[in-house]
Amino acid sequence: MNKPKITICYSRLSRGDANPGESGSIKNQRDILQDYAEKNGLLPTVHISDDDESGTGWNRPGWQELMSEVEAGNVGTILLKTLDRMGRDHLRVGLLLEQFRDSGIRLIAVSEGIDTDKGEDDFTPIRTLFAEWYARDCSRKIRQVFKNRMANGKRCSGAIPYGYLPNNGDVNDLIIDETAAVVVRRIFRMIIDGKGVNDIARTLMGEQIPIPSEHWKRIGQPYRSIKYADPYGWTPTTVSYIVTNPSYKGTAVLGKTQNSSYKGKKAVKTSAEQQYVFENALPVVVEPEVWENAQRLKKTVRRAPKSETAPNPLTGLLYCADCGAKLTHRHSGYDNAYCCSAYRKGIRNCCTMHYISVKNIEKILLSAIRRVVCYVRDNDGDFIEKVRAASVVQAEKSVKESKAKLTKSKRRTNELDGLIKKLFEDNASGKIPDKHFERMFADYDAEQTALETQIAELQTAIDAFNEDGVRADKFIDLALRYTEFPELTARLLNEFVSRVEIHEKDKSGERVTQEVDICFNFIGNFTVPEDYDELTPKERAALNAERERLDRKNAYEKERRERKKQLAERTPEEIAADEAEKYQRRLEYNRKYSREWARRKAAEKKAAAQTGTVAM
């Protein structure tokens, strides 16, 4: 005997009501479908529902259960209140109707009078199309609401960055979570110390620091319901996200992702133009300068040499002064130095070696940092004026050009405002057809948008020039934190130096020289006056002794090169004469040595005869 097929009464609601448990609408749908099934003899019935599930998605638990019964061949009839309860995808619903028809399944939409056993309904495709349009229209309206909120600086998501907490549950009023902020600040310090995200993740994991989700769980805050096996399982991805998050310097960035389609929930990253950025909108966890410095350091790829356990902190700071390429570290045997990467890769026609040993560049940088810091302490009154003067020399021309471009762009923007206004008036009066109006308006709008972006960039450059005094104050604050400079550490290097340009060695003079241009954070290429002496008498004597040693070494090297050059330029006759002279000198030396040996042996024999011993 064949098993009787069931009637599935399917109910769906996009968003549940405020009642606890099952939504009221689901109960009403169930009652309507059950009453229809009893009156029309469509028993036995099985009720399946999806509460708070959108009709644009098809991974609904209830719908998956219904399709499992269909594929098992257990379903004879499907009851719906309206056809859009099945879903709001015109093409998908059409395919399902074909599938049900081929499987001999009867589908009834009670409120719309649709019954596949009574023949085709010409309005069914139109109903499914309107259902999809409704979902699309709702999605568009909701997205526009979200955009308006974000444009006003309001969050549309309950997710907040690690290190912050909502003030009294308000996600638009964040305060610093001091417990987590300590971890965030430590991560940035480790980046400044030259650590990579992998090393930082391993350190936090080894010290049993809770990951963000575990931290929120412990303090009773909402968190993403993701499964994690290890509450201390920090990953490089998590650390990288924290380091690159601008929220910690006080900048709120909204609209970073959006759904790719109203039919799905897959989030995709938006472009910078689609995002909403608000400066100074959040409490500052790390100083903006520290955040910017961390971004620069994170982008630098460092690899430890085979003979070392950690990469050299100079990597990423040294650049070729001629071609602009980065200098790469070479460490094998006795050779521990940097050279131009373009030269090292074999592109020798475009650049030279620009060789400098690690020992020498470390000495140069440590001395330069110490010298400028000592000068700042002793002459803080003149320091800002000198920084300002140097900045004027470096940037006066570019700032002047920027101001001229800014004035021209603003003038053109005002002209476009007048043109757009006149364009609207001519279109409204019928002088310009809609087709031409739309094209001209699009062109004007694109030009005005580009000009607004250019104006913002130019104004930023001019403001940066005007803030040199403030940046000098920041360098002074940094300098006052250091009292001793025993060695060049990664933190000292990264906090003070942003770029170092290495010139090729100059061997034309009596001494071999090599220029090194150092760009400091906040103040750029600052040169301490030559008459300033930051050394003690003992340090000055040691420095002079070192210079004398280097002078002697350079003199010897120069003499050796000259001798080698002279030997290479000899003619065959000179070479033969030199060889004959060498032969004569060796012959004279051997004869002299033989005579001395014979005299020494005769003296030993005579002494032995006098003492009665036998000479050996």
Please write the tens of the pLDDT for every residue from 173-188.
Answer: 899 999 999 999 999 9
Share of the chain above pLDDT 70, in %: 85
Assess contact for 391 and 465: CB atoms under 8 A: yes
497, 364 contact by CB (below 8 A): no
Tokens of 55: 């009709």
Higher pLDDT: 346 or 502? It is: 502
Q: Which of 89-103, 390-404, 420-434 has the lowest mean pLDDT?
A: 390-404
- Over residues 66-89, the mean pLDDT reads 90
Specify if 228 maps to a domain: yes
Q: Are residues 424 and 513 in the same domain?
A: yes
Mean pLDDT of the chain: 81
- For residues 391 and 511, membership in a common domain is answered with yes
244, 256 contact by CB (below 8 A): no
- Does residue 606 fall inside a structural domain? yes
Q: How far apart are CA 77 and CA 42, in angstroms?
A: 8
User: Mean per-residue pLDDT for 305-321?
Assistant: 78
Answer yes or no: do 170 and 108 share one domain: no
For the chain, the domain total comes to 4
**Residue 276: CB partners within 8 Å, gap ≥ 6?**
150, 151, 153, 253, 254, 255
Which of these ranges, 99-108, 503-512, 526-535, 541-550, has the smallest mean pLDDT? 526-535
The fraction of the chain above a pLDDT of 90, given in percent, is 19
pLDDT of residue 260: 62
Give yes or no: residues 12 and 117 share one domain: yes
Q: What is the DSSP letter of 20?
A: S
Q: How confident is the model at residue 491 (pLDDT cuts 50, 70, 90)?
A: confident
Same domain, 490 and 454: yes
Q: Is residue 311 part of a domain?
A: no
For residue 174, report the phi and psi dihedrals to the nearest 5 degrees: -100, 145
What is the residue range of 73's domain? 6-147
Structure confidence by residue, pLDDT tens digits, 350-388: 688 899 999 999 999 998 888 888 888 887 767 777 776
Shared-domain flag, residues 10 and 142? yes
Q: What is the pLDDT of residue 404?
A: 72
Q: Kindly state whether residue 438 falls inside one of the protein's structural domains.
A: yes
Tell me the DSSP string of 366-405: HHHHHHHHHHHHH-HHHHHHHHHHHHHHHHHHHHHHHHHH
> Of 89-93, 357-361, 458-462, 479-483, which one has max mean pLDDT?
357-361
Q: What six digits make up the tokens of 145?
A: 């609401």
Q: State residue 164's pLDDT score.
A: 93
User: Using 50, 70 and 90 to split pLDDT, how confident is the model at 578?
Assistant: confident
pLDDT-derived band at 463 (thresholds 50, 70, 90) equals low
Residue 41 Ramachandran class (φ > 0 left, ψ -120 to 50 alpha, else beta): left
DSSP letters of 292-331?
Answer: HHHHHHHHS-----TT-SS--TTTTTEEETTT-PBEEEEE
Examine the fold and report which residue of 299, 316, 337 is the final residue of a domain before the chain moves on: 299
345 domain residue, yes or no: no
Same domain, 516 and 379: yes
Pick the residue with more confidence: 108 or 123? 108
Q: 487, 505, 520 — which closes off a domain? A: 520
Asked if residue 316 belongs to a domain, the reply is: no
For the segment 212-241, the average pLDDT, to the nearest whole number, is: 86
For residues 254 and 380, state if they share a domain: no
What pLDDT was estimated at residue 17? Answer: 43
CA neighbor of 59 nearest in space, from 67, 69, 70, 47: 67
354: left (phi over 0), alpha (psi -120 to 50) or beta: left
Q: Looking at the structure, tell me whether residues 172 and 134 fall in a common domain.
A: no
**Amino acid 21: pLDDT:** 54
Let me know if residue 449 belongs to a domain: yes
Q: Which of 186, 161, 162, 158 shows the shortest CA–CA distance to 170?
A: 158
pLDDT over 60 (residue 50): yes
pLDDT in tens, 53-72: 888 888 889 999 999 999 99
Angle, vertex CA 580, rays to CA 575 and CA 584, nearest 5: 145
Question: Residue 483: helix, strand or coil by DSSP?
Answer: coil
333-to-21, 330, 353, 363 alpha-carbon distances in Å: 74, 10, 19, 21
DSSP at 270: P
The pLDDT, as a whole number, for residue 300 is 75
Lowest mean pLDDT among 215-224, 355-364, 375-384, 466-475: 466-475
Are residues 120 and 173 part of one domain?
no
Q: Is residue 135 pLDDT above 80, yes or no?
A: no
Cα(575)–Cα(569) distance, integer angstroms: 10
Q: State whether residue 7 is helix, strand or coil.
A: strand
| pLDDT tens by residue, 156-177 | 777 889 999 998 888 888 999 9
**Over 80: is that where the pLDDT of 261 sits?**
no
pLDDT top residue among 182 and 345:
182
Query: Which pLDDT score is estimated for 150?
Result: 79
Same domain, 194 and 133: no
Provide the pLDDT for residue 469: 46
Domain limit, last residue, from 299, 314, 341: 299
Say yes or no: 134 and 268 in one domain: no
- Closest residue by Cα to residue 325 from 346, 305, 339: 339
What CATH number is associated with residue 228? 3.90.1750.20
What is the C-alpha to C-alpha distance for residues 150 and 171, in angstroms, rounded to an integer? 13
Please tell me the predicted confidence (pLDDT) of residue 411. 81
Asked whether the predicted pLDDT for residue 16 surpasses 50, the reply is no
pLDDT score of 18: 43
